[in-house]
Amino acid sequence: MIINAANKPNKKFNMSNIDKKLKKRLGCINGFYTDSKRMPTYSEMTVLFGVKSKNAVFKIVSKLIEGGFLQKDSKGYLLSTSAITSKVRFLKLLGSVEAGFPSPAEEELLDSVSIDKLLIKNPNSSFLLEISGDSMTQAGIMPKDFAIVDKSLTPKEGDIVIARVDGDWTIKYLRKEDGKYILEAANPKYGRIKPKQELTVAGVVVGTIRKYRQCG
């Protein structure tokens, strides 16, 4: 999905194509995977979902597979989309580097850092969006960047948010003017957006990912 960072919001953005009950059960599966590093069995899912039979679990799983939220491998074992895309990777933390004038540095292994845990505090309530447009460039958010959004956080004034304003989606700073919430760009060529009817915040941007060079 691509979220618009220009001042003209994107009508195509759709937060979800899964109902709340099914989303909660998917969250249970992903939470189990995060804690146990494996997918739950059908018996374990009866407990997770609070249902009495494996047949009920089968119907739930079938809906999740149909919606693309679960997959099966070549042997018929269940795979979670988060299990596929969120395998934890650790990188060596070797120190810090001066961003002003060059300074002497010596490589020292300080720690090993999980990129997932560094960037994503609440994986079950977080998602990525690709950015288009240039209205947030002075906040360091460029076209083709990926925004990490946490929908479990309570938005505060000054946060960068994904918001729906008068039916359209965009990414902006959340501000207050005359006691009312508005949206503000991080580029002086764009004006503030004052909702005519509604302003709904779908999530708070907690980080961005940018690729400078293709692998290989």
Which residues are designated catalytic? 135, 172
Cβ neighbourhood burial of 52 (10 Å; 0-12, 13-18, 19+): exposed
Cβ neighbourhood burial of 147 (10 Å; 0-12, 13-18, 19+): buried
Q: Could you give the CA distance from residue 25 to residue 67 in angstroms, rounded to a whole number?
A: 13
| CA 21 remoteness from chain centre | 20
Q: Could you give the CA distance from residue 40 to residue 33 in angstroms, rounded to a whole number?
A: 7
CB 80 within 8 A of CB 33: yes
CA-to-CA separations, 154 to 120, 139, 185, 205, 206, in angstroms, rounded: 16, 20, 20, 11, 12
Q: Could you give the CA distance from residue 19 to residue 179 in angstroms, rounded to a whole number?
A: 34
